[in-house]
Structure 1
């Protein structure tokens, strides 16, 4: 009788362990380029799509691999995907490296290309993106004494490494920061964006000139007035500057600022303002 009880207890224990194992089943994780994490069970993969099901569901969902940055499988294996915006095939199936990483340089900060976008038309300017990146880079160099112990990575090195990885001002926002740090070999990154709309305004000004003639008897006065009106159209720039800083893939500072003036270069003042109030800036 005791032997039967022992068998019964063992069977129940096995059933409980099996149920617990099923309920606590480890899931796969899909990390998307927009930083969304999907916990799921992956059913199948191809060079274009990944099919998965959510916990407790049997319906399969298809996701284009161009939206995926990395997949962490329940087995412990990781598969990452090329960060190039035009890529649609896995880049590697190893420990999580997206592409060949640059040698890590501790306490180094890199300046990313600065998207310069007309939010009304959604058009971006490559020339202004490079100009804004260069302006921010020079501001960091000018204040290098206030950034100690950080060193600013040379802009040519930054842009060369990004170019090799297929990244530019158009797709920089789609690339995870942890991937950018590996590509650039830095542990600090400053990322800014300039968004603007244009409005038109008209101004006018009037100038008066005249000559007075007085008669000999000093009673009659004749005047001849000339009035000139000039008008001109002005363009107003309505900016919004976005300013983010990252350290070891963690966002340590995030601010937005609208310049006080609506002139063409007023976004530069906002960049200076936000930089001086960032956590990396130490007043001397």
Structure 2
């Protein structure tokens, strides 16, 4: 009888555990692209309450941070983008001040400048900004409790203030924090010079015949010269982080290789060694 009871108990535990483990979860997709798998217990016009798997504590999240919820039932609810717009006021200095969002980090446009010509590239400035933004999103667990501000929000607020990659360096960090409504900022700049190296290779072929009077006669001679040109890029990557208007990290790095995309390796290296990054 005892053996039967033990078997039934083990079967119950197995079935109950399988049912719990196989339970579908709700998914909250935040505006910064963070996905939270959870069980939603309560919703209102202003907040959503949920608990994480294996926990009973209720967490409250403002709907202004939510882009969409995919419920376990299969239903989805998309939240109006206008609900996530940042409230703005104008300071006594004439600066448009966004609503403050504590523990939020903004990624600034990255000036990408040729040191010889002092010409900047708008496309590369946006590309580098997007590269840093995506790296921070991918490592969101490593920068907790910081949240990365949506790139569209950052660039929209900067555009309203008349700031872009050409004048971002001229704007004080204190003003940028007010404009963006954040307390953390990552700023970088990429300067570079270029040089070329040319090599030429000549390939030839031919045959030689000798006549009876020992007079040499050449025939079927030809040669081909091929020119190769290699472009080299010499980068300086400047990298700064600010918190509450205080510089908390500042580094300059030169990539090991002189390739066109070598600056990406330096950005990755500096991000991982910044004080906001913790290993998990």
Q: TM-score, normalised by structure 1?
A: 0.59
Task: Report the 3-state secondary structure (helix = DSSP H, G, I; strand = E; otherwise coil) of the residue aligned with 2:130.
Answer: helix
Match in the other structure for 1:111: 107
Structure 1 residues 137, 210: CA separation in 2 closer, same or farther (over 3 Å shift)?
A: farther
Contact 1:98 1:179 in 2 (8 A): no
Give yes or no for the alignment of 1:279 onto 2:275: yes
Task: Report the 3-state secondary structure (helix = DSSP H, G, I; strand = E; otherwise coil) of the residue aligned with 1:101.
Answer: strand
> C-alpha offsets along residues 162-212 of structure 1, whole Å, 9 cap, x if unaligned?
01111111111111101100100000000000000111111234557789x
Match in the other structure for 2:163: 167
1:227 to partner: Cα distance: 5.5
Give yes or no for the alignment of 1:132 onto 2:148: no
Matched ranges for 1:148-227 at <5 A: 148-206=144-202
Task: Report the 3-state secondary structure (helix = DSSP H, G, I; strand = E; otherwise coil) of the residue aligned with 2:97.
Answer: coil
Q: How many residues align?
A: 183
> C-alpha offsets along residues 120-139 of structure 1, whole Å, 9 cap, x if unaligned?
01111111111111111111
Match in the other structure for 1:231: 227
Contact 1:110 1:186 in 2 (8 A): yes
Contact 1:239 1:258 in 2 (8 A): yes
Once residues 137 and 265 of structure 2 are traced to their aligned partners in structure 1, the CA distance between those partners, rounded to angstroms, is 16
Task: Report the 3-state secondary structure (helix = DSSP H, G, I; strand = E; otherwise coil) of the residue aligned with 2:265.
Answer: helix
Once residues 200 and 245 of structure 1 are traced to their aligned partners in structure 2, the CA distance between those partners, rounded to angstroms, is 34
Matched ranges for 1:1-284 at <5 A: 94=92, 97-206=93-202, 228-284=224-280
Q: TM-score, normalised by structure 2?
A: 0.60
- RMSD over aligned Cα, in angstroms? 2.4
